[in-house]
């Protein structure tokens, strides 16, 4: 309860001190620290915990005041950053491409396929391409996979990626279909998610024994199909308006359970955020909209005015109600 954490924090820190909760769960400690004027650091390995905490802090002004329960706290949270850190594995894999491909193929329960340039593996009757570690999958990558499939009489391909460039969406699948290829775009779960399935095992991610991959990791690790996100953009002078016009998740058992309650598929969006000037490194959360209990729908439209002319990359990050991210990059030119 907040009241208990209030006592602990008041008794053991002063305003401006840093309060840390490295297992922050739903973020109670951080919210109380924020309300008591302390700085804070929180961490958690669960993406749901981070998502709940992020929304709780962004919505803290609506929460109860610590002194008077009948009042709202009323103040917005001071700016904070959300980092995805500790991905030492990514750095390690960058220098060991073969190990990376082998591990990913195993995790995806597929077998290596030799003698091809872009087709790395095979899962049943589908070929598998593993996307790059440090760059989004581009339309060019998709085309290379499609051409190699066609030249070798394969007609099904799964492309696995960490990130996707904007134009890689349903249209990529439609164009592959025209070339006779049944294409699926598959999201690789985050390194943290893979790691969290290993909690309780005394093993490092890089040296996971085969039987653990088979018995444990595969049970918990899901490779969802990439959601379909359609964004309409309008440029009027220096002002850009973005609108989510469609959002579709691929059918899963989890989705079937809630499908009857969802009238507009955009209601499956839990949170979305925009970096209006994405520089290909850190995502700067410059605008966001998220569901809260009282209003379980995000705003579907966002606006931004640019001060300078030029070419900009806009990064859009959508988190759906199942905690999966869909990231898209859009290019605009402000004249």
Ligand X SMILES: C[S@@+](CC[C@H](N)C(=O)[O-])C[C@H]1O[C@@H](n2cnc3c(N)ncnc32)[C@H](O)[C@@H]1O
Q: How far is the CB of 48 from ligand X (least distance, A)?
A: 8
Q: How many CB atoms lie within 10 A of CB 33?
A: 24
Closer of 31 and 227 to ligand X (Cβ): 31
Going through the chain in order, the beta strands assigned E by DSSP cover 18-21, 39-42, 111-112, 121-123, 126-130, 156-161, 182-187, 228-236, 239-248, 269-275, 287-290, 301-305, 310-320, 325-334
# residues contacting ligand X (CB under 6 A): 13
Closer of 29 and 51 to ligand X (Cβ): 29
Cβ atoms of 157 and 119 closer than 8 Å: yes
Q: In what order do the strands lie in the sheet with 156-161?
A: 111-112, 121-123, 126-130, 156-161, 182-187
Binders of ligand X among residues 19 to 58 (CB under 6 A) are: 21, 23-26, 28-29, 43-46, 49
Residue 33 to residue 278: CA distance in whole angstroms: 31
Q: How far is the CB of 323 from ligand X (least distance, A)?
A: 12
Closer of 19 and 186 to ligand X (Cβ): 19
Q: Which residues contact 81 (CB under 8 A, 6 or more apart)?
A: none
Closer of 58 and 314 to ligand X (Cβ): 58
Binders of ligand X among residues 89 to 128 (CB under 6 A) are: none
Cβ atoms of 171 and 226 closer than 8 Å: no
Binders of ligand X among residues 157 to 186 (CB under 6 A) are: none
Q: How far is the CB of 54 from ligand X (least distance, A)?
A: 13
Q: Which two tokens stand for residue 331?
A: 């290019």
Residue 187 to residue 161: CA distance in whole angstroms: 5
Q: Which residues contact 96 (CB under 8 A, 6 or more apart)?
A: none
Closer of 31 and 298 to ligand X (Cβ): 31
Q: How far is the CB of 150 from ligand X (least distance, A)?
A: 45
Q: How far is the CB of 26 from ligand X (least distance, A)?
A: 6
Q: How far is the CB of 33 from ligand X (least distance, A)?
A: 10
Q: 182-211 mask for ligand X (x: CB under 6 A)?
A: -----------------x------------
Closer of 44 and 270 to ligand X (Cβ): 44
Strands 126-130 and 121-123: antiparallel
Closer of 25 and 132 to ligand X (Cβ): 25
Q: How far is the CB of 42 from ligand X (least distance, A)?
A: 8
Q: How far is the CB of 185 from ligand X (least distance, A)?
A: 28
Cβ atoms of 158 and 123 closer than 8 Å: yes
Compute the Cα dihedral for 187, 192, 195, 199 and give only its sign: negative
Closer of 27 and 136 to ligand X (Cβ): 27
Position of minimal CB gap to ligand X: 25
- DSSP result, 136-200: -B-HHHHHHHHHHHHHTT--EEEEEES-B-TT-SHHHHHHHHHTT-EEEEEEPPPHHHHHHTTTT
Instruction: Name the site residues for ligand X (rule: CB under 6 A).
Output: 21, 23-26, 28-29, 43-46, 49, 199
């Amino acid at each position: 309860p907040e009241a208990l954490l209030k006592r602990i924090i008041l008794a053991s820190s002063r305003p401006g001190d840093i309060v840390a909760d490295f297992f922050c769960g739903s973020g109670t400690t951080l919210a109380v620290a924020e309300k008591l004027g302390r700085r804070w650091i929180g961490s958690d390995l669960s993406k749901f915990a981070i998502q709940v905490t992020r929304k709780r802090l962004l919505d803290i002004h609506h929460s109860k005041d610590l002194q008077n329960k009948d009042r709202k706290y009323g103040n917005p949270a001071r700016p904070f950053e959300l980092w995805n850190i500790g991905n030492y594995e990514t750095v390690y894999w960058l220098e060991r491409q073969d190990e990376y491909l082998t591990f990913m193929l195993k995790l995806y329960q597929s077998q290596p396929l030799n003698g091809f340039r872009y087709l790395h593996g095979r899962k049943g009757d589908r070929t598998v391409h593993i996307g790059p570690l440090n760059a989004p999958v581009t339309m060019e990558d998709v085309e290379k996979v499609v051409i190699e499939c066609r030249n070798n009489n394969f007609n099904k391909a799964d492309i696995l990626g960490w990130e996707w460039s904007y134009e890689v969406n349903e249209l990529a699948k439609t164009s592959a279909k025209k070339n006779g290829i049944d294409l699926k775009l598959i999201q690789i779960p985050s390194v943290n998610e893979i790691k969290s399935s290993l909690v309780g095992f005394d093993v490092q991610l890089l040296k996971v024994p085969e039987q653990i991959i088979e018995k444990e990791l595969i049970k918990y690790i899901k490779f969802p199909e990439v959601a379909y996100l359609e964004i309409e953009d309008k440029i009027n002078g220096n002002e850009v308006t973005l609108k989510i016009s469609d959002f579709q998740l691929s059918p899963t058992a989890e989705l079937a359970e809630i499908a009857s309650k969802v009238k507009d598929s955009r209601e499956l969006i839990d949170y979305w955020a925009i970096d209006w000037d994405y520089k290909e490194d850190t995502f700067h959360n410059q605008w966001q909209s998220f569901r809260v209990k009282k209003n379980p729908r995000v705003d579907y439209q966002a606006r931004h005015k640019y001060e300078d002319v030029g070419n900009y990359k806009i990064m859009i990050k959508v988190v759906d109600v199942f905690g999966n991210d869909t990231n898209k990059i859009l290019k605009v030119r402000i004249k």
